[in-house]
Chains A and B, each alone.
Chain A
Amino acid sequence: MGEETTTLGTIQISPNALATIAYHATLTSYGVVGLAPKNLAEGLAATITHEPARGVSVRYNGEEIDIDVHIIIEYGTRITSVADSVANAVRYQVEKALGMPIHFVNVHVQGLRVSNPD
């Protein structure tokens, strides 16, 4: 996918590599208490294959790279702010590592975790 041609040859970066970067950027974002599989099938697949980047999907249509992250947020935080921060952190970290622009980072809030009921 992410492809760059140098004088020495071609550099290819797999979606999985990007997903791993996005995964770590997401987990260190404040307010995120976990990532969630998009659906049951993906959850099962991730468990079986020990997929390193559960809850992150990367799409590349030949021109643009889109990243989707599915997160669980701590109850009692402002969801829009947390989601914004995740989108920023993912975009920043991936673009920094990749040197290519990311088209969209979509953040899906799959659930809330209640650890401190007020």
Chain B
Amino acid sequence: MDLEIQARLERFKSTPIDGQALKELVEAGLTWLRANQQTVNALNVFPVPDGDTGTNMVLTMQSAFNEIKDLGTHNVGQMAAAVSQGALMGARGNSGVILSQLWRGFARALHNQDVLDGSALVRAFADGRDTAYKGVVRPVEGTILTVAKDVASAAELALQETENPVEIFEHVIPAADASVQRTPDLLPVLKQAGVVDSGGKGLFFVLEGMLRYMQGLPLDTPTTAVQPLSAMKLENAMEDIEPGQDFEVVVDFVPARDLDLKSFYAELENMGTSIQVGEGEGMYRMHIHVPTENRNKPVDYIMRLGTITKVAMENLVAQMDDINKKSSGRIELAGIEAGQIAVVAVSPGNGISRVFASLGVAALVEGGQTMNPSTKDILDAFENLPTDQVIILPNNKNIILAAQQAKEVTVKKVHIVPSRNIPQGLAAMMHLNPDGNLDVITTKMTKAIEDVTAIEVTTATRTVEIDGVSVEQGQVIALVNGTLAISAASVEEACLGALEKAKAADFELITLFFGDSLASAEANRIADIVRAKYPSQEIELQDGGQPHYQFIISVE
């Protein structure tokens, strides 16, 4: 063990925790929670739109840490008060709010305290619990609240044996873990989904991160992950097929003796990629992608470890073709009856088409920046619809003209809502009522397109200077409402710069549609950066699938 860690261990064991030490612990809790963020996210039961539990808790802890980052005080009470303040300001989602209340109680117990000794720590846990429970009329057990309660009880028990905060933590962490594991027994919805409570798990990671730091254990790599069976996202795993990994092998087995996960993983890593292991009711499920010649190896290997109950093997390459075919044909358009208003929208990508369809578009025309649909394409889209009232959303300024020509040559009553980009088109769709009066609806929709700010992020095709912004070929540029706003070296820089120019902080909802040139992991990473920068805005990330534009962003 290196000297620095040795010294840290000694320090935490021998001296009471002061303000600066608490700051280190908060950072450790945040770091460890972030390392395990995806594990927590995977436990989500409710499909709520305000984000995943893990992400919400990380953002809450991040805000708490930002508040104390530069705080020099050695007084633990002042430090805790600042943590509480930061957590309050950045609280996101249900779990975030509860976490901030735990910190608030924790800080109140430490008011005017110079250092955090054993008894103060126990009081702080108890006050955290009490404060959190006061914040709700009907506390739901089997959640983060229950875990906080069990943590406080375990700390009280530990105090009878030791006054040392580190040792109290050593008692508290296993109790927190056990409490998390019990949550499905208290909350049926968790049991049905086969998961433990996500918020409780998040709290566990914060506390465990603190203990790991005091013990000198690493905080950057998540512990070898065994997840509940239901959390294994095999559909998602399909997406990251690497070349040469043609076969997917899933093996269910009951190990003869306790499974040594480390060596299990190590052995599997020699065979293939995308390894996932799930556990449930004494059974394990292993999932792996392997090259054709290795397809039998995982089965042979696991055969030696225990009893195999089921083996499933699929040829991924053949399957992927299938999936791709299906997903492109799956868009369901709104059915239209005679006399209703039908909307025809021009869409540049599959994902965006799907969003339009979900908003009630009756017909879609493929097209966009470099492939403007012809008048005939637009005409064909609505000529056969069983209604004579049509609204066209061109969604691109170069297509407005073609739309107008389509209006000239048809006998149907056609109005054009001159949307110049996708966000405007989507904003207009919010005001569609198929049974309304065509003129009234058109006016409403046309008005709506003024209320949204559109950002388009793309790569410059030539070196140029427009609107006072100079751009070199190959740079990433962002247009705000069609005007060149910024040029940048990277996509994320362009996004952030454009959002600032668009005064995104004054709006409520930021929707990011990522294009076909961007991997979803990269898009997620950028969305997380945007989330961190705009904590009070709602950020949505959607797979737009549009060509040429890395991002189309709507700010409203």
Contacts and interface: CB of A to CB of B under 8 A. Distances in A.
Contact of A30 (B47, B94, B536, B538): B94
B89 A28 contact: no
Contacts of B48: 88-89, 92
Interface in A41-83: 63, 74, 76-78, 80-82
Contact of A33 (B89, B135, B140): B135
A85 B94 contact: yes
A75 B536 CA distance: 19
Contact of B101 (A28, A29, A77): A77
B136 A116 contact: no
Nearest to A118: B108
Contacts of B90: 78
Contacts of B93: 81, 84-85
A116 B97 contact: no
Nearest to A24: B138
A27 B134 contact: no
B536 A32 contact: no
A33 B97 contact: no
A2 to B, nearest CB: 18
Given A63-B433, A77-B91, A81-B96, A30 B108 contact: no
Which has the most chain B C-beta neighbours within 10 Å: A30, A31, A77, A85?
A30
Contacts of B49: 88
A98 to B, nearest CB: 16
B50 A88 contact: yes
A28 B143 CA distance: 12
A29 B94 contact: yes
A115 interface: yes
A37 interface: no
Contact of A31 (B47, B92, B135): B135
A97 to B, nearest CB: 14
B38 to A, nearest CB: 22
B97 A78 contact: yes
A48 to B, nearest CB: 23
B137 A32 contact: yes
Interface string A5-31: 000000000000000000000011111
A76 B47 contact: no
A51 B433 CA distance: 34
B131 A81 contact: no
A31 B536 CA distance: 18
A33 B98 CA distance: 13
Given A28-B136, A31-B135, A76 B88 contact: yes
Contacts, number: 75
Nearest to B46: A92
A78 B104 contact: no
Which has the most chain B C-beta neighbours within 10 Å: A31, A81, A116?
A81
Contact of A28 (B88, B92, B138): B138
A29 B140 CA distance: 9
Nearest to B96: A81
Given A63-B433, A74-B135, A92-B46, A30 B92 contact: no
Nearest to B143: A30
A7 to B, nearest CB: 20
B356 to A, nearest CB: 17
B55 interface: no
A100 B136 CA distance: 28
B93 to A, nearest CB: 6
A36 to B, nearest CB: 13
A28 B140 contact: yes
Nearest to A113: B134
Contacts of B135: 30-31, 33, 74, 77
Nearest to B140: A28
Given A85-B97, A88-B49, A118-B104, A78 B136 contact: no
Contact of B97 (A82, A89, A115): A82
Given A32-B137, A88-B49, A116-B108, A78 B88 contact: yes
A33 to B, nearest CB: 6
B100 interface: yes
B112 to A, nearest CB: 13
Contacts of B433: 63
A84 B56 CA distance: 13
Contacts of A28: 136-138, 140
A82 B97 CA distance: 7
Interface of A: 27-34, 63, 74, 76-78, 80-82, 84-85, 88-89, 92, 115-116, 118
What 3 A-B pairs are tightest by C-beta distance, nearest first? Answer: A78-B91, A74-B135, A88-B48
22 contacts: A28-B138, A28-B140, A31-B135, A31-B136, A33-B137, A74-B135, A74-B136, A76-B104, A77-B88, A77-B135, A78-B88, A78-B90, A78-B91, A80-B536, A81-B97, A85-B50, A85-B94, A88-B48, A88-B49, A116-B105, A116-B131, A116-B134
Interface of B: 46-50, 88-94, 96-98, 100-101, 104-105, 108, 131, 134-138, 140, 433, 435, 536, 538
